[in-house]
A and B are shown apart, each in its own frame.
Chain A
Amino acid sequence: MAFYIPYIAVVALILIGLYAVVFKRNLIKIVIGITFIECGVNLFLITLGYRENSTAPIYTSSPGGIMSLPVPQALTLTSIVIGVAVLALMLSLVVHIYRHYKTLDARKIIGGDEE
């Protein structure tokens, strides 16, 4: 049962994130929602790479037994780095939106001025 906890957490994180993106009006909360989805996906990748009683894949100092493949970790690192870039860009756009509209409420922004 304990083995499934990470997967339950993955589903929970993704669903919470989707809820925030779809139902929240505040742009910052939408950005937070996307970060939640990202955390869920990253956790999923890491969990997939887990093997019980395995060692790090360093061939010269291996005590024997099974080694875990480092690919999921590499994927997760890449995805975290990309996530930071996307997050930074999204927040900077939010800053500019606030400067233009003086609000972060999505409803007021959508109905905003047409040039």
Chain B
Amino acid sequence: MPYDVPHTVSPGLWVLAWRRLRTDRVAMISMAIVFAFLVMMVLSASGLIAKDWGVESGVNYAPPSFLGEDLEQPKAAKDTAPARSSAADAPTPLDIKDPLADALAEIRGQSGKSAGSATSGADSDIVDPLADVMAEIRAKGTTATAVAARAATLPFGGDKWGRDVLKKTIKGSETSIFVGLAGALVATFLGTVFGAVAGYYGKWTDDLFNWFYSVFTSMPSLLLILAVAAVLQQKGILTIILILGLTGWTGVFRLIRSEYLKHKGREYVQAADAIGASNARRMFVHIFPNVSHVVLVQLSILTVAFIKFEVILSFLGLGVPVDVVSWGSMLNEAQNELILGKWWQLAAAGTAMALLVTAFSLFTDSLRDALDPKLK
């Protein structure tokens, strides 16, 4: 039967891209790593993990468990730590975990006891609405002041006050990734809207936005960020997201503008005009889906760049406030610790960041190849 051609729907851009992405092993692995970091960020933000990162659970500068206990506390010799690392390879993982587990159990037992006694005391008294809170505070106080119960080693070591570096790294990822993502979202949004308006309307609108573009690009973004940071005395996560967003939109703008210039004369846009679609509808309902892959790749590139920027700004003390832990502030502390031979905080923050950024960059490359095979 000549006319009985089976009706098949040809797959769209996203389906094709996803198929290409799935065959790319590097892309899938890097995507899994990025996803794991995002899950970690969400869990940490919702308080499910690393909630007690501020608790001083180990001794000051507690070394990582695989190095074993630091015998010369507090006067630590510089060369002992590297020397022990070879000896520490011998014990099985089970042995390594033991001292910490004991210490943790001890701490838990103590805090549980004090919490229990406090609550029962409150029960016999007149009902105090703050009793639970007080119990919690007391429990915290007991844990923090129980110097004897502090662990001699921590899984990835401890900082100057004996806080768990692993938990700090997790908590720091929350700040660094969130700032990077949110800043990239703001910048991409601004760049897309400006680029769409400039490319679509052309004429004086285009001139105006191009002027904006040339003004912003004639200053190095780093200088602009530092200048804004100097002016805004009030520090906070929102401030730094705004700084990154307001200074980072230019790259997206240039690409989106040229895409809109290309698309606005196409037949489907004329057809949309013919059926009476408004300018805004043509711009964001008809054209936007056709350029959204460019936007997505730019968002990914900016996120990586902004995570790096956030780390530098926080390191300099120009980023997030001091009481918020970020990978940048950890590196700042680690700088002084390294002179004392305490390298673990540097290693933890540096590795976490390098792992995330490597995975994110590889994923971005694969994403770009998958969405735009012509480029490859």
- Whether both chains belong to one complex is answered with no
